[in-house]
Every structure is written in structure tokens, then in C-alpha cells.
Amino acid sequence: MTDVLNGSCACGQIQFTCRATPKGAAVCHCSQCRKMSGHAWASAHVPRTSFEMTGPVKWLRLSEQAERGICPDCGSFLFWVGVGHPDFISFALGSVDGPTGVALGRNIFVSEKADYYPLNDGLIQER
Ligand SMILES: [Zn+2]
Ligand SMILES: [Zn+2]
């Protein structure tokens, strides 16, 4: 099976192509993802070798754990790479153009969730 997903930032300067089946689809409720995206942030990961990106990605180090890739012009929060885990990249499911073929599996960093929305989707909740 050949899975090719294409995605982009809101202004279109950053484009990406993913040639592997995305894994670990999750919604992150941590405060950094919430502030970066304006809400919880949904992503999935693939091997870095199956992922290509073009455009002026700006990498932010907001925590010890990760670097986040954004578009410096439109501000889209697109990518997440764990420090010490450069072999994988997570990308925002909301930035995919067209169907993702992905189903969310987990809510993560639930302990940092904001109070204005319920979490009753039946998915696994972590921390
Ligand atoms: Zn952009
Ligand atoms: Zn997060």
C-alpha cells in the first residue's frame, strides 16, 4: 500500500510530503501545544526518512523535550520533533490537504488540558 499525504501551512509557503503510514495519532493538550495552536493539537508521526518538507520552517525550542516547526509568516504550527529522537517527525493532522486516512487513538498530556472543553471522545487518556 502506498500512502502519500501532502500538507501545507496556512499561507502555502511550507509544503510537506509524507510517504509512510502515520502512526500514533494523538491529540496533545499540553500548554505549549495549546498556546501554539490555539487549542489542543492533533498529530501523527512517521519516520523522518519518509518525510520531506520545503519552505522556511522555523524551529522553536520551547521545552527541553522537543522542537516545534512553524511557518514564520503565517504562524502555522506544523511539526514536532522530540529532542534525542530525530528519526521521527510528528506533523499536524490539521495541516494535511485532503483526507488523512488517520484515526485518532489517544489524548495525551490530559493533565494540562484546559477547562473549557469536555473530553468524552472515548479515546485513551494519558497523564
Ligand atoms: Zn505559512
Ligand atoms: Zn503538546
- Residue 63 belongs to domain with CATH number: 3.90.1590.10
Ligand 2 centroid – CA 33 distance (Å): 4
The pLDDT value given to residue 3 = 73
Classify burial at 95, counting beta carbons within 10 Å of its beta carbon; exposed 0-12, middle 13-18, buried 19 or more.
Answer: buried
Ligand 1 centroid – CA 100 distance (Å): 20
Q: Average pLDDT of 107-112?
A: 97
**Cα atoms found within 13 Å of the Cα of residue 100, Cβ hemisphere only:** 18
Ligand 1 centroid – CA 126 distance (Å): 31
Which residues are 113's β-sheet partners?
none
Ligand 2 centroid – CA 50 distance (Å): 23
What pLDDT digit, counting tens, does each position of 23-54 carry? 999 999 999 999 999 999 999 999 999 999 99
Sign of the torsion formed by the C-alpha atoms of 62, 75, 6 and 121: positive
Q: Average pLDDT of 78-83?
A: 97
Number of independent structural domains in the chain: 1
pLDDT over threshold 60, residue 115: yes
- When the pLDDT of each residue in the chain is averaged and rounded to a whole number, the result is 96
Tell me which residue range forms the domain holding 30: 5-125
Ligand 2 centroid – CA 1 distance (Å): 30
Ligand 2 centroid – CA 113 distance (Å): 10
Distance CA 6, CA 81 (A): 18
